[in-house]
Every structure is written in C-alpha cells, then in structure tokens.
Structure 1
Amino acid sequence: MPALDRLHRLHRFAWPLAVANLVANIGIVVTGGAVRLTGSGLGCPTWPRCTDESYVAHGELGVHGAIEFGNRMLTWALVVIAIACFVAVGRTGRTRATVLAAVVALGIPAQAVLGGITVLTDLNPWIVAGHFLVSMAIIGVCVALLDELRGPTRPASDRLRPLAWLVLAATWVVLYLGTVVTGSGPHSGDLESRRTGLDPQVMSHVHAAAVYALLALTLGLAVLAHGLGATVVRRAAGALLALLLVQGVLGFVQYFTDLPEVLVGLHMLGAALVSAAVTWTLLSTMSRRAEWAQPKSSGSSATATNSSDR
C-alpha cells in the first residue's frame, strides 16, 4: 500500500526533523523574548483564550495582542515539528533516540501550559524564569537527540567527564541567575507586572561572578582536553568558550547602555546557544562507536541496530 510504504520511509526524515526541532526551539526563545521586550506579555490578557470572549486576538488589543497571539501560534508549529520528529525517529527503531524525541514532543505542550500560567499570574517573574529554563532544557534534549542520530564517532573521555559535568552545572547556575537579573530589571513584559524586588545591580554582579567561574572552568576543560589529545572535547569546549565570551561582552555592553531591547534579545539568543553548546560539550566526553545506519524495513516494522542502545 502506498501509504504504508510512505510510513516505512519516514525514517529518512528523522535527521532533518531533529535539526528543525532544535532550530524551532531556539527560535521560540527569541520570539518569546520579543514578546517581553515589546511589552506584549499580556497582549492576550488571559489563557487559553486570548480574551474572555475569543481565542484569537482582535483589533481592540492592538499590536501587543497581535504579537502575543502570534507567539502562541508559533507553539503549534513546534508541536507539529516535534510530533513529526517523534514519528520519524520511531521508525528508525532506535530506542534512546525515540525516547529523546518523545521528551521534546511532550515538553512543548508542557511549556505551553507553563506559558499560560505566566499569563494567569500576570507575568510573575519567578514563573517566567521557570518558563525560560524549561526551554533551555528542551534545547539540551534536542542536541542529545541529534548526537544520538548522527553524532561523530569518539572514545570515552573518563578523565574529562567530571569537569564537563561541573561546567554543565555552572552553566545552569549562570542561566538561573540570568533569569533572576531579568526578573529584577525593567523588561517585565508589561508595565503593570511586578518585579522580584531584588536589587538589579547587585544581582547583575552576582551573575557576573558566576560567569567568571564558568569561563575559568570551560577554559580549564579546553586546555586539559588539548593536553590529553581529546580532539572532540577540545573543539566542543572551545566553541562553548567562544560563545561565553560573546555572551559576556553582550552582557557588559547591555549593562552599561541601560539594557537596550535589541541587545537583550541577542543575549537571550546567546543563552539558548550556550545551552546547546554545553550539552554538546558534556556529550563529547561520552563514547560513541557507531555511525548512522539506515534502519531496515520489512513488513509492518522498521528496525535498526545501534551500539549506543546496548
């Protein structure tokens, strides 16, 4: 049957859909940032409807309503991509990859609910922070899925892995403190939304101190990887270090220029890229001995063998 044949061939789309998953989840971070930076966080003042009478924005809500509603609609695009990715990856017969794809597919509607809670709580800064951090976690899972599908062959780097875990932990401390700084600063998403009440200047210095520690740890990992001849780890740590330096420069510039919206938006994009890079850095210390293999299709099922599923 033609329909069944097309289903068997879905595994061919696993890789491009996994890439689309990552790109889309990074993109929603940027568009979500645009909602907040334009003061459109309550453009649709309730959830799941846009208003008490309508699920869609209307003219009376103005440009803020259009921006917020547009961002909500993008979530549906993410859902479609994530479900298609899950189905395609499932056809490869690779258990771990399928689980990772399922986590992404389930994480996106969970994010939508959390986003709704942020609206219902009038953009409570602590809930907004959680909403952002869950996106960072989903991005990390997307990277793990890509590595599971077509990651490069590499040996285990047992001596480097503990330091890589420490870099990951430090990155998450930095990401969290970044949300605390944001929650105490001026870009609340709506003029009526409350802030955390913390001193934004003090929190900025605390955040910067954590960044310095992260830079030192990442540099140490890159240097140690170079000394041990761990090429994959060295490249991953080097890329992460470069991103952190760019993020640091952006952070300083936006701090001393009163947080212009464009720079804050770029800083959010940088945070998403850092989440992806630090995940890859940790994965690079773990062995991967099998290259991508096309699954075999027969009858009503497709199977594949991957040494990482041992």
Structure 2
Amino acid sequence: MNRIVRPVSGTLLSRLALASIIANVGIVVTGGAVRLTASGLGCPTWPRCTDDSYVTTPEMGIYGVIEFGNRMLTFAVGLIALATVLAVLAHRPRRPGLLALAVAVFLGIPAQAVVGGITVLTNLNPWVVGLHFLASMAVIAAAYALWRRIDEPDGPTVAVVPTPLRALARITTGVSVAVLVIGTWVTGSGPHAGDQGAARNGLDPESISQVHADGVFLLIGLSVALIFAFRAVGARRATRAAIVLVAVELSQGVIGFVQYFTHVPALLVGAHMLGSCVVLLATLSVQWSTRERRPAASAPQTTATEAEAVPVTA
C-alpha cells in the first residue's frame, strides 16, 4: 500500500528556516561562552573529547562539560537544518533556489564544526578561532537568504530603488563584513583566549581596536546616508530597514566602547558577539529591501530613470 506524503506548507517551512537562523545565532553565543569561560580546551582533542573518549570525563571538570556541551549543540543545529532540507523537498510546488540554500546551510554546519575542531587541534590559534566565527556568519547569511526566499513569489527580481542606491547598499554590506572580520582580529589580540595557555595574534590591541572603531564609524555613516537616500526616492521599506540597521549599529557600538573602556569584561564580550550576529542580519535586511520578487505577470516595465529588473537565481 502506497503511503501518501502530504506536502509541507510554506508556513512550516518558513518557521523551520527561522529556527535555523536562531539556532545558528545561538551556537555563536554558546561558542563565545566556551571561550569566555576559558573552556576552549575543555576537550583537548577532536573529534574525540579525550584520546580515549568521545564524551567528557569527570576528571575534566566544568571546562570539559562546557566544551562538550557546545559540541553537542552542533548536532541540534544540524538536525534543524536537516529538517529544513527535508521540508523543502516535501514542499509543493517546488521553489527554484530553495533546495540549494537549504543544502548550503546544512553542509555549512559540519564545515563550521570541522573548523572548530581545527581550533582545538591548533591549541586555539587566534586566526583559526576568527575563521570559526566567520564560518558561522556565512551559515547565518545563507539561513537568512533561505528564510526570505520562502515567502517570495517565483517571478523576476525587480529593484525598488535606483541602481546607484543599490550599489551604495552593497558597499555598506561589504563594509559591514569587513568590520566583522576586523573584529575577529581585535578578539584575537585581547585577553579572552579560551584557555590560559592559548597564544594571541600579536597585534597591538589598542591599534587594531582603533582600526575596528574607524570601520564602525564608516559603517554608521554609510547606513545613515542610506536612510536619507531611500527616503528621497520614496522607498519606505528600505528606509525602515536602514533605520533598524543604524539603531542596531549604535547599540553594538555602545557595547563595544563600554567593553573597551571597562577592560573587556566577559559578559559584555558575549553581548557584543550576539550583537555582531544582529548587525549582520540587519545589514542583509537592508540589502533585501532594495529589491523584490514579483509574479511574472505583474512585473512592471521600467525606464532608464526607474529601478531595473534584475534576474537572480535565488
């Protein structure tokens, strides 16, 4: 007897994609907790926790529990991603690009875990630790793209702001990514190495913090410019997204300055890591707000002075 498999609704699929975003942000925060509690080598090897055991042992104490617990959370995040892939396969009608994005998120999680294992095997090399964080950012970006794509129709992509403003939004996104990268350099020069014996990257903390702050000032300036530019062309959705981005950036900036002048307390560093994820998501929201996908029958004709219709694959 053949079983009838019911298609997955768009609502359930959207919820799974949103859960994937939240879970991947959560693994960044818990990964930060591992480092901030000096538990980075709580399990001193990988993929085992010790040479003889895949799980933590009583002799390893709380540090082993924290590190091993974070490793186990990776499986939970992976299960959510797998459920999302299966939901995409069961969704009807099949949507172009959804499966590729869902698979990218799913495969990104073990890839990120491997980078995490390399950080352990290299005794928390600060450059590898930074790459571990950036790998998580890439997975979050893919999960966000999947979530936004689910609720879009399958027609062509149409720009809702003039081409120069779309270029400005892309530049802002690039600067935001650069700020995240430089932020990992700041972290690699600071006091929270994840273990008392872990090396630092050798950069001067004060100098690299200034470079990071300069990047933040540039990012905020570009984001404020986007607000006025979007308002000038009547792009309300894009304006709202840019306002949210500036608010998030200012909040993150306040946390950053306070943690710097209070000698980098662990709690504020953790809040700053969470804020980095929120900044990335707010930046992607602005990028997404400069275009929309419309059903083919309703795609408007554009002129040289209007936004151009730009086909995309996702």
State whether TM-score is above 0.5. Answer: yes
Alpha-carbon deviation of 1:96?
Answer: 1.0
Q: Summarize deviations over 1:96-130 as a string: whole Å, max 9, x none.
A: 12211111001001001110000000000001101
| 2:17 counterpart letter in structure 1 | A
Q: For residue 41 of structure 2, what is the aligned residue in structure 1?
A: 42
Q: Distance in 2 between matches of 1:220 and 1:182?
A: 29
Classify 1:50/1:198 alpha carbon distance in 2 versus 1 (closer, same or farther; 3 Å): same
Conserved 8 A contact 1:21-1:142: yes
Q: For residue 220 of structure 2, what is the aligned residue in structure 1?
A: 215
Q: For residue 166 of structure 1, what is the aligned residue in structure 2?
A: 171
Structure 2 alignment gaps of length 5 or more: 297-310
Classify 1:309/1:217 alpha carbon distance in 2 versus 1 (closer, same or farther; 3 Å): closer
Q: For residue 175 of structure 1, what is the aligned residue in structure 2?
A: 180
Q: Distance in 1 between matches of 2:60 and 2:51?
A: 12
**1:271-282 mapped onto 2 (5 Å cutoff):** 271-282=276-287
Alpha-carbon deviation of 1:231?
Answer: 1.0
Question: % of aligned pairs identical?
Answer: 51
**1:185-204 mapped onto 2 (5 Å cutoff):** 185-204=190-209
Conserved 8 A contact 1:40-1:68: yes
Structure 1 alignment gaps of length 5 or more: 292-306
Classify 1:63/1:280 alpha carbon distance in 2 versus 1 (closer, same or farther; 3 Å): same
Q: For residue 15 of structure 2, what is the aligned residue in structure 1?
A: 16
Q: Summarize deviations over 1:71-106 as a string: whole Å, max 9, x none.
A: 000000011000110111232311212211111001
Conserved 8 A contact 1:156-1:288: no
TM-score by length of 1: 0.90
Query: Structure 1 residue runs of 4+, over 6 Å off?
Result: 307-310
Alpha-carbon deviation of 1:10?
Answer: 6.3
Secondary structure in structure 2 of the residue aligned to 1:4: coil
Verify: 1:5 aligned to 2:9, yes or no.
no
Q: For residue 77 of structure 1, what is the aligned residue in structure 2?
A: 76
Secondary structure in structure 1 of the residue aligned to 2:200: coil
TM-score by length of 2: 0.89
Conserved 8 A contact 2:10-2:150: no
Classify 1:150/1:47 alpha carbon distance in 2 versus 1 (closer, same or farther; 3 Å): same
Q: Distance in 1 between matches of 2:247 and 2:2?
A: 49
Q: For residue 111 of structure 1, what is the aligned residue in structure 2?
A: 112
Conserved 8 A contact 1:154-1:284: no
Q: For residue 140 of structure 1, what is the aligned residue in structure 2?
A: 141
Conserved 8 A contact 1:36-1:189: yes
Classify 1:256/1:12 alpha carbon distance in 2 versus 1 (closer, same or farther; 3 Å): closer
Q: Distance in 2 between matches of 1:233 and 1:101?
A: 26
Conserved 8 A contact 1:33-1:268: yes
Alpha-carbon RMSD across the aligned residues, in angstroms, is: 2.0
Q: Distance in 1 between matches of 2:257 and 2:53?
A: 43
Conserved 8 A contact 1:43-1:65: yes
| 1:117 counterpart letter in structure 2 | I
Q: Summarize deviations over 1:248-294 as a string: whole Å, max 9, x none.
A: 00000000001111110000000011111111211111222149xxx
Q: For residue 303 of structure 2, what is the aligned residue in structure 1?
A: none
Q: Summarize deviations over 1:207-239 as a string: whole Å, max 9, x none.
A: 000100000001101110011111111111111
Secondary structure in structure 2 of the residue aligned to 1:287: strand
